[in-house]
Amino acid sequence: MKYAVMADIHSNYEALSAALKKLRELNVDAYIFCGDLVGYGPDPELCARALGKLKNLIAVMGNHDKSLFEHSFFYWFSDFAIDSIKFANKNLSDKSLKFIKSFAEQYHGKDFALVHGSFLNPFRDYLLSSEQFLLNLDKWSGQVCFVGHSHIPFIMSRKDNLSPRINVFTGSDVTIKMTTGTRYIINPGSIGQPRDANNMASFGVFDERQRTFRLLRVPYDMETTQRKMAKKGLSDVLLNRLKAGS
């Protein structure tokens, strides 16, 4: 199968629409989502409806998604992040809230696994280092694990007992070939709020048969998203972050 791999949509409908348009052109068979559908952006309901229509969706919950139902998570959120979650709660239908609540905290399949942060702490940990790779290695099986949370597109890999290698994806269309005997942790970056100084929506395609992962970046109508954010009273900090990719 050919899987779309997405993370951190953050209520950015224009970015999600651009990504889904590209993925339809690529004829993906199924969709992987690594969490954080809501938070920050202006369109939680439109994004929930769009994700809910996707065929063969496997989704895990992110920390912003979890905070819709457990406000204790607010203690480590910024004020503007908290405001955006309260905004999402007011603007999500009961059907969409139920849909988001159905996301698993982690997913373990035969060939791949998913978690938002890490298996040690799905909602808090930013899995970014070789040490974290090793600490999580025995928590999942298969060749590849997909993560989100950091909004940085990267690939970690380890062959045999060698030290893990970490590479950040650069460029707008990069394909890597997975090799036998190597295990991978891959972050497809953020669709709705990239933080690698590239403001284009970031996502990927995992080809299970060809054993490849393709990282893709596409532009989207950011100005419309920013106008919506301003109109709906979301923080200027969040609005300005989109253009900076930070």
Question: Tens digit of pLDDT for each residue in 73-98?
Answer: 888 888 989 999 999 999 999 999 99
pTM, rounded to two decimals: 0.96
Taking residues 229-239, report their average pLDDT: 92
Q: Where are the alpha helices (DSSP H) in 102-235?
A: 130-136, 222-231
Predicted confidence at residue 71, as pLDDT, reads: 87
- Domain of residue 223 covers 2-244
Taking residues 175-188, report their average pLDDT: 96
pLDDT for 215 beyond 90: yes
Widest Cα–Cα separation across the chain: 53
Q: What CATH number should be reported for the domain holding residue 141? A: 3.60.21.10
Cβ atoms of 172 and 127 within 8 Å: the answer is no
**Spatial distance between the Cα atoms of 153 and 77, rounded to a whole number of angstroms:** 22
Cβ atoms of 15 and 9 within 8 Å: the answer is yes
Predicted confidence at residue 163, as pLDDT, reads: 86
CA 169 vs. chain centroid, Å, equals 15
pLDDT for 14 beyond 90: yes
> How many folded domains does the chain comprise?
1
Instruction: Select from 11, 124, 146 the least CA-distant residue to 77.
Output: 124
Q: Hey, what amino acid is at 116?
A: H
